[in-house]
Amino acid sequence: MGKTILITGGMGFIGSNFIRYYHQNHPQDEIVNLDKLTYSANPENLRDLSSETRYRFIQGDILDEALFNRIGREFPFQAVVHFAAESHVDRSILGSKEFIQTNVLGTHTLLEFFKQYWHETLSGDPGFRFLHISTDEVYGTLGLEGIFTETTAFHPNSPYSASKAGADLLVRAYFETYGLPTLIVRPSNNYGPFQFPEKFIPLMITNLLENKPIPVYGRGENIRDWLYVEDACQAIDQILSKGKIGEAYNIGGESERTNIDVARQCLSFLKKGEEHLQFVTDRPGHDLRYALSNDKVKKEIGWYPAVNFSEGLSRTVQWYQDHIAWWKPLKERLLLESKGFWSRS
């Protein structure tokens, strides 16, 4: 007998990849995908699952308490994986209200509902899990030395990362105060298929495919740790089943690169010259470096990243080359917005 799992934000980049991964690897389980379908969500990400009997999509807002009361009566949820979030740093700098509403208040709405649901509907079932997807950005920035561990203090430097830090603390509080079986996953920068083309890597790839320049903040010296999305999905799945309740787990790609090096590797894959580089004014509060220790997740869960950066980037470039019909309309819509969003990097 399988279980029913709720995925919030499942039409987004990591969420849709996770649903595809989970559907393939858990053939007995049912998936309910709740997504508001904001600008970066795309129903095309999961169009091929729309007729599957073990998958159901519900359009809705995680702030909608009445919606949860309805679907809570309809489905026997044994797990929640909470991806739903506003996630673009540049957008949070230009306007933070939606980030606070979705990332903080939305997470609070979920926690309040599932606290009651777990106690009353599931009678405190110890097998229930509420897994919250966070980010490495809650830790702030590193210099050229050092690494973030799960005990590193939070020092968020953007409205986005501050909202995610607030959500993390709420999740922790609901475990400590109410005993809700929670888990937190903090990934490094994900990349791969189905990523919205305003983000750094897909923006570069799609611009080059259109023979356009690729924007790089400052001199491209900021350093990120890159995690292929399929590895992230495997880690989340394993933490959901094996993680110790109340704990947080970093999942890093162990693939640190400067932004300029990533840009040059994209140029190389697509046989373009450096005349396509366009250095743009750095954004406010731009973190220099992120790097995550995987020691805890390796020791307790047995997970480690399997796809190295060169292989993952090659797969990603090929995917965008093969799926122009997926990203072209999204790029056209972004162009019409003309708001100058460049990257998460």
Q: Are residues 68 and 140 located together in one domain of the fold?
A: yes
Which pLDDT score, from 0 to 100, does residue 222 have?
A: 94
Residue type, 112: E
The verdict on whether 137 is a catalytic residue reads: yes
The percent of residues in the chain predicted with pLDDT above 70, rounded, is: 97
Do 159 and 13 share a domain, yes or no? yes
Residue 303 lies in a domain: no
* Predicted TM-score (pTM) of this structure: 0.95
pLDDT of 345 reads: 42
Q: How far apart are CA 12 and CA 27, in angstroms?
A: 22
Asked if residue 58 is part of any domain, the answer here is: yes
| Number of C-beta neighbours around residue 120 at 10 A | 10
Confidence of residue 338 (pLDDT cuts 50, 70, 90): low
Is there a single domain that holds both residue 51 and residue 95?
Answer: yes
Claim to verify: residue 240 and residue 280 sit in the same structural domain: no
- Write out the two tokens for 128: 């229930």
Show the domain range for 202: 192-224+259-287+310-337
Residues 145 and 186 in one domain: yes
Question: Are 215 and 116 contained in the same domain?
Answer: no
Q: Span 170-186, mean pLDDT?
A: 98
Q: Are residues 267 and 328 in the same domain?
A: yes
Residue 318, Cα to own-chain centre: how many angstroms? 21
| Same domain membership, residue 151 and residue 209 | no
- Is 322 catalytic? The answer is no
Q: What is the DSSP string of 86-130?
A: ---HHHHHH--HHHIIIIIIIHHHHHHHHHHIIIIISTT-TT-EE
Same domain, 186 and 196: no
Over the stretch 33-83, which tens digit does the pLDDT of each residue have? Answer: 999 998 889 999 999 999 999 999 999 999 999 999 999 999 999 999 999
pLDDT at 318 over 60: yes
Catalytic residue among 61, 137, 256, 287: 137
Q: What is the CATH number of the domain that holds 318?
A: 3.90.25.10
Residue 12 domain-assigned?
Answer: yes
Q: Total structural domains in the chain?
A: 2
Are residues 213 and 237 both part of a single domain? no
Residue 160 falls inside a structural domain:
yes
Q: Does residue 282 carry a catalytic annotation?
A: no
> Tens of pLDDT along 192-222?
999 999 899 999 999 999 999 999 999 999 9
Query: Which of 136, 225, 230, 231 is flagged as catalytic?
Result: 136
Q: Do both 130 and 95 map to the same domain?
A: yes
Segments in 199-308 forming alpha helices (H)? 200-209, 229-242, 259-269, 295-300
**Whether residues 50 and 196 fall in one domain:** no
Catalytic residue among 160, 217, 290, 320: 160
Instruction: Please indicate, yes or no, if residue 145 is contained in any of the structural domains.
Output: yes
Give the mean pLDDT of the chain.
94
**Count of alpha carbons within 13 Å of 265, Cβ hemisphere only?**
18
For residue 342, being part of any structural domain is answered with no
